[in-house]
Structure 1
Amino acid sequence: MPHTFSRRMDGLRSSAIRNLLALTARPDVISLAGGLPDPDFIPRERIRKEAERALTDPASVQYGETTGLRRLRDVLAAREGARIGRLLNAGEVVVTHGSQQALSLLAQVLLDPGDVVVVEEPAYTGALQVFRAAQAAVQSVPLDRGGMNTAALQELLESGVRPTVVHTVSNFHNPRGVVLAADRRKHLAALADRYGFWVIEDDPYGELFFDAPAPRPVAAFSDRVIRLSSASKILAPALRVGWLHGDRRVCEAVELLKQGADLCGSSLTHQITAAMLSDEAWLALHLDMLRTRYGARSRALTAGISSAFGDSAALSDVQGGMFCWVEFTDDTIDTAALLRTAVEHGVAFVPGSAFGMGAHLGAALRLCYATCPEDVLAVACERLGDAYLAHAQS
C-alpha cells in the first residue's frame, strides 16, 4: 500500500537553517549560520544548583498543570506585566515547550485552512513552517530599518485583505535584526483594533539589547495582541521554557489543545527557571554580561564585514539580539550559490532566500555572531571575503 499523508503536509519543507547544521558540523567550518547562544554564556553551574534544590521536592518529577508551574507563571506575569504597563495574573500566562510550541498552538487555535496570515519579509522561518502547516494563506509586507512597514500593511487592509493573524518579531528581528519603531507599534495595535485581527508579537530577543531597551511592546497598546517570549536565549535552550500571554479566552483555548499535545511541561525545568528569573539581582548581572559580550561580538562582526566588503555590502544596524543582515549591492549575486564556495573556504551563513516569501532576497544573507568569539569572527569575515572574490571570479 502506498504511504499517504494529510493535506497539511503538502508544501511543507524542512527549515533551510536546520538542513545547514549537518553541512556546518565540520570542525574546519566556522558557522555563522545557526541562532544558538554561546554555551559558555549559559549559566550551567546555577542551573545545576537549582536542579539539585528542585529535586528535593517530589513535585519536581511529577506531572504538573498544563499551563505550567504556578510559581513560574506568577514570575512571568510580574515580569511581562511590568513590560506592558498593567497587572497580569497567572491565569493570563501559559508556559509552553519553548516559544515555538506557543506559536504552533496559537496557529491551531486561531486559524482555519485558508485564513490569511500576514508576515514580515524577510520572515522568521519557524513562523512560515507553522502557518504553512496550518494551511493558512500567507501574505507578506516588507521590513525596513523601522521594522514592519505598517503603512504597507494598512494599504493591504484597505485593498480588502482581511487577515486573521499578523505576525511580527518586534525586537532585534530574526533575520533582519531591526526593531519595530515605537510609532509603528501603536499603528499596528490600532490597525488590529480597527480591523479585528490578532497580532502575534514574537519576542525571544528583547532582553538582549546593547545600548537601550526596545520600545514598549505592541501588547501595551491593544488587547488583540498575544505576546510570546522564551528563556532559551537568556538562560538555556534545553530548559525548553517559553510562554505566551494575552486574551484569557485564547489562553484557555491554548490550554485545551496543549492537553492533547503534551499534557504538561517539565515540572523540574519550570522550578529551575522560576528560581533563576525570580532572583532579580543575579539575573540583572547575568543579563548585563550577555549584553556586554554579545554587543562586543556584534561590533567585531560588523567591523569585519565592513573591512572585507566596504561599499559592496550594506549591513543592518545591529542594536541587540543575535543576527546581522547583509545585502550585497550587486543584486546579481546568488548567496545560495555563494554558500557552497564559502563552505569550501571554511565559513557558513544562511542565504537570504531561506527567509523569502516573494521578494528578491537572493543577494542577502544572515549572519549569527552569538556563538563565536571576536577573533574567530574576524577570521570568518576574512574567509567570507575570500569566498566572495572566488565566487565572483568563477
Structure 2
Amino acid sequence: MTLPLSVPLSSRLRDVRGSAIRDLLALTARPEVISLAGGLPGTDLLPRERVAAALAAAVADPSAVQYGETAGLRRLREVVAAHESERLGRALDADGVVVTSGSQQALDLVARAVLDPGDPVVVEDPVYVGALQVFQAAGAALHPVPVDDDGMVVDVLAARLAAGLRPRLVHTVASYHNPRGATLSPSRRAALAELADRYGFLVVEDDPYGLLAFDSAPPVPVAAYGGRVVRLGSASKVLAPALRVGWLSAPAELLAAVERLKQCTDLCTSSLTQIVAADLLADRAWFAAHLDALRAALRERAAALTGAVRAAFGTAVTCSTPAGGMFCWLEFTDGTRPAELLPRALEHGVGFVPGTAFAVDRDLSGAARLCFASNPPAQLHSAVQRLEAAWRTTAS
C-alpha cells in the first residue's frame, strides 16, 4: 500500500485562487447540461477539415516532428508579424515576435520576466481569471480598476497614479473583454498608452478576441497608441484551441528574457502545430473567408442568447449587448445571487459562471457571465429556458 506523502508547497501557490470556470467544466461536461460556462469556441465552428489538410501536408516535412527554435518557427513569426503590422499601422519584424504554447503561457512568461514578489500590478475588475492566477503565482500586489461599458475606467487608474501608485504592469483585455464583454474606447486606449509613457509601466494587452468583431473593423490595438505595450495573441479563438499556439510582441529586452524563460519551461512550442497555424494564417483568402463566417455565426449566437434572456427575465436583469467576442454579462436587479442559483441551474441542465468568480474587490454577487460561442441558437434558447425555470423555482 502506498502511504500518502506530505509535500510542502511554495508560499506563492497558497495565494493562487483556483479557477471556478475550470472546476465547472467537469459538471457542465455532462451530456444533459448545456454549458454557457467555459469560454470555448463552438466545435462546429472550428475549421477541422482545413486543419486536417494542413496537418497532412505538415507531416511530410521531417522538421514538423522535431524540436524547433525556442522563439518559434520563423515562418509563423513572419506571418504573425505581417498580420500584426496591418493592425498596428506600423511595421513589425519577425524578430519582434515570440511564439508560445497559447497566450496563457505568454502572459505567465511576461509576469515571470518582469515581476518580483510584492510588485504592484493593475488588473481589471472583473478580471480575466487566467491573469489573476498568473499574477497571484508571481506574488504580485494586485490593484483592481473597475470595468464599465467602455472598458477599463482609465480615469480611475490616472487618479491612483497621481496619488502615488507605481505599477510594474497594467493588464487589460481591451477588446471584447473576458468576462465583461466590453471594449476599451479609443480615447481610453490613447489615455492608457499616454499614462504608460508618463509613469513608465508596461501595458499587457491580452487580445485573443480582437478579430471577432461582429459589424465593424477590429478595434485598433492599444499598442498602436504607444510603445510601452506588450501584445499577446492567440490562434485558439480564431483557428483551434488544440493547436496551443500563441505569441507575444514586446520590446526586444523583454522578448529576450521571455525566450530564456521559455527554454526553462518547455524548450519550444510544438513544431507540428506551428506549421499548421502558419499554413492557415498565411492563406489570406481562406482565413478572411473563415473569419467572416465565424463572425457571422457568433453575431447570430449573441443575438439569440441576449434576445432570449431579455424575453425570459425582462427587467429582472440587465444584459450587455455584445459587439464581438464570446461573452455577455448579466446583472440581476431583483436580488438574485447567481452563485446561489447555479446549483439549481445545473439540476435544470444549464451551467454558467457567477460574477463572483471574476471579482477582485467589487461586489459582483448579482452578476453572471454567459458564453454564447459554444452552442448554436436553438440550444441557446433551450439553455435560457432552463435557466429561467431554475430562477423561477429559486424565487418561489
1:137 aligned residue (114, 131, 141)? 141
1:306 corresponding residue in structure 2: 310
Among 1, 10, 15, the residue aligned to 2:19: 15
Q: What amino acid is aligned across from residue 97 of structure 1 in structure 2?
A: S
Within 5 Å, give how 1:337-348 maps onto structure 2: 337-348=340-351
Cα root mean square deviation, aligned: 0.9
Partner amino acid, structure 1, of 2:394: H
2:390 pairs, out of 371, 375, 387, with 387
Q: Measure, in 2, the Cα distance between the counterparts of 1:51 and 1:3.
A: 42
- How far off is 1:141 after superposition? 0.6
Report the alpha carbon displacement of residue 82 of structure 1 after superposing the two structures with TM: 1.1
CA–CA separation in structure 1 for the residues paired with 2:219 and 2:36: 28
For residues 224 and 201 of structure 1, the distance between their equivalents in structure 2, rounded to whole angstroms, comes to 10
Instruction: Give the structure 2 partner of residue 165 of structure 1.
Output: 169
**8 Å contact kept, 2:101–2:246:** yes
What CA deviation, in whole Å up to 9, does each residue of 1:207-266 have, x standing for no partner?
111111243111011111000010000110010000000201111110010011111111
Match status 1:361 vs 2:370 = no
Contact 1:205–1:233 (Cα < 8 Å) also in 2: yes
- In the TM superposition, residue 333 of structure 1 has moved relative to its aligned partner by 2.2
State the match for 2:115 in structure 1: 111
Partner residue in 2 for 1:270: 274
1:54 aligns with 2:29: no
Aligned residue among 189, 202, 206 for 2:206:
202
Map Cα deviations across residues 276-311 of structure 1 (whole Å, 9 max, x no partner). 000000001100110011110000000000001111
The reply on whether 1:26 has 2:30 as its aligned counterpart is yes
Cα distance between partner residues in 2 of 1:48 and 1:376: 27
State the shift of 1:47 in Å. Answer: 1.0
Match of residue 74 from structure 2: 70
Residue number in structure 2 paired with 1:37? 41
The one-letter code of the counterpart of 2:166 is: R
What amino acid is the match of 1:351? Answer: P
Distance 1:199 1:3 in 2: 37
Give the SS at the match of 2:231: strand
TM-superposed CA distance for 1:2, in Å, is: 3.7
Shifted more, 120-129 versus 211-220: the winner is: 211-220
Q: Distance in 1 between matches of 2:179 and 2:17?
A: 19
Tell me whether 1:352 sits opposite 2:362 in the alignment.
Answer: no
Tell me the residue number matched to 1:378: 381
Partner amino acid, structure 1, of 2:368:
L
* In 2, Cα distance between equivalents of 1:18 and 1:321: 20
What letter is aligned with 1:379? S
- Hey, what's the Cα distance between the residues in 2 that align with 1:27 and 1:262? 34
For structure 1, the 5+ residue unaligned runs are: none
Structure 2 unaligned spans of 5+: none
The CA distance in 1 between the partners of 2:184 and 2:368, in whole Å, is 20
TM-score, normalised to structure 2's length?
0.98
Contact 2:305 2:381 in 1 (8 A): yes
Contact kept, 8 Å, 1:211 with 1:319, in 2: the verdict is: yes
Q: Tell me, in whole angstroms, the C-alpha distance in 1 between the residues paired with 2:36 and 2:48.
A: 23
Whichever residue aligns with residue 143 of structure 2, its letter is Q
Q: Per-residue deviation at 1:22? A: 1.1
- Report if the CA contact (8 A) 2:212-2:218 is conserved: no
Shift of 1:335: 0.9
1:25 to partner: Cα distance: 1.7
User: Does the 8 Å CA contact 2:306/2:321 hold for their aligned counterparts?
Assistant: no
Give per-residue Cα distances to partners, 1:128-151, cap 9 Å, x unaligned.
000000000011011111100000
Give the Å deviation of 1:13. 2.7
Deviation (angstroms), 1:317: 2.1
Q: For the Cα contact (< 8 Å) 1:179–1:214, is it kept in 2?
A: no
Question: Does residue 228 of structure 2 align to residue 224 of structure 1?
Answer: yes
TM-score normalized by structure 1? 0.98
Shift of 1:27: 1.6
The match for 2:189 among 180, 185, 192 is 185
Give the 3-state SS of the residue equivalent to 1:79 in structure 2. Answer: helix
Alignment-derived partner of residue 246 in structure 1: 250
2:333 paired with 1:295: no
Q: Is the 8 A contact 2:339 2:365 kept in 1?
A: yes
> Which amino acid is the alignment partner of residue 229 of structure 1?
G
Q: Structure 1 CA distance, aligned partners of 2:147 and 2:218?
A: 17
